[in-house]
Amino acid sequence: MFDGVKKYKEEDVDFADRKPEFEMLFDLAADPGELNNLIKDMEDTKLLESFRQKTAAYSISLNEKREKYKAVVTTQSR
């Protein structure tokens, strides 16, 4: 039975070495309502590259934790 939730594969949550489909970056001090997405203005900056690297490292960390969890806990598909 389809419950309206899109199925995903493990690689769908692996963001290492992959540019995201969309990104958002806001200056919360100047734009607390998050109305002005700065991503295009920051495209070729070291700051954005740093954010992307940190996000990829975090993604790898989460995937490693998920694999360790799956190795010791039996999971069932929904």
| 54 within a domain of the structure (yes/no) | yes
Determine contact, residues 39/25, Cβ cutoff 8 Å.
Answer: yes
Cβ neighbours of residue 66 under 8 Å, at least 6 residues apart? 10
Determine contact, residues 35/24, Cβ cutoff 8 Å.
Answer: no
Q: Is 25 or 5 the better-scoring residue by pLDDT?
A: 25
| 61 within a domain of the structure (yes/no) | yes
| 6 within a domain of the structure (yes/no) | no
| 3 within a domain of the structure (yes/no) | no
CB under 8 A, 24+ apart: contacts of 11-15: 13/59, 13/62, 13/63, 14/59, 14/60, 14/63, 15/55, 15/56, 15/59
Read off the pLDDT band of 15 (50, 70, 90).
low
Write the pLDDT tens digit of every residue in 28-63. Answer: 999 999 999 999 999 999 999 999 889 888 888 888
Structural domains in the chain (count): 1
- Tell me the residue range of the domain where 41 lies: 11-72
Q: What is the pLDDT of residue 1?
A: 44
